[in-house]
Structure 1
Amino acid sequence: MSVPGSRPLGEINTTPLIDVMLVLLIMFVITIPAATHSVEVDLPRDCTDCPAVDNVKNRIVIDGSDRVLWNGNSVSHAQLGALLAETRRLPIEPELQFEPASQASYDISARTLHAIEAAGITRFGFVGNENYRTFAAR
């Protein structure tokens, strides 16, 4: 039965909803595991079995079989990082020349360029571009 002059209430009591959501939020925060894992990062270190660094000019070549050569000596990606870091420690940064072969992998070339950029090398140049001046020559 309705009372004359009264209208039905169209409101919802949100207090219990807020209480339940608050309890769920607290439970969620408590159950999240603490970040205890670590990420290993290979930092450049002095390289004892690396080729020598020239004080004037160094050349990185990527040959057709995707080997990275530092001044003619084959080096790994970690050794390359150490050599680049060593050139940055010199009083005057030597010029770094980059020469990928025409058959060199784009992925290896891009990773090498990224390593050069990450090392902060400022005296950098591409060499050997004149070999690819015309497409019909190769």
Structure 2
Amino acid sequence: MSEVVIELELGLPHWDPNDPEAVVYVDERRAAAALNPHPDDADRRALVLVWSGCRWAAHGAPNDEGRRAHRLHSKGLNGILWLGTVRESSTVEGICAGRATSADSLKHYVLPLKETTLEVVAEDLRAVRVAGPTRQALVSVVVGS
């Protein structure tokens, strides 16, 4: 298996990759991240990424300064500024081993943020724009869905 991380283009405006106010939420069935818009974006609403059908999610170290230590760094994560997907993911294969879940129905996402790295294995990803600070935007999407 040869894992590789590739940039995922959502067709949405980019967020601020150095945003210290980015917030992440993870529970048993979904994950979400609320991010401030890129400084060049005229739409000042927060961007909230919401993964559904989650099978696995983790966030934490390394932050942007230690990202070279991440196991996917040399497999393409080093070139990802916004959001990546992991092709031929060993994490997805491990989740699907011995289960009825097909690896084709899951995607492994990697979101490098200033203070954390978020990884999510899920069935679906959607993005919404929400007015307000990132924490408030995240709560409104998570509670409202």
Structure 1 length normalisation: TM-score? 0.26
Which structure shows the bigger proportion of residues in strand conformation?
2
Q: Which one has the largest radius of gyration?
A: 1
Higher relative contact order (CA 8 A, sep 6+): 2
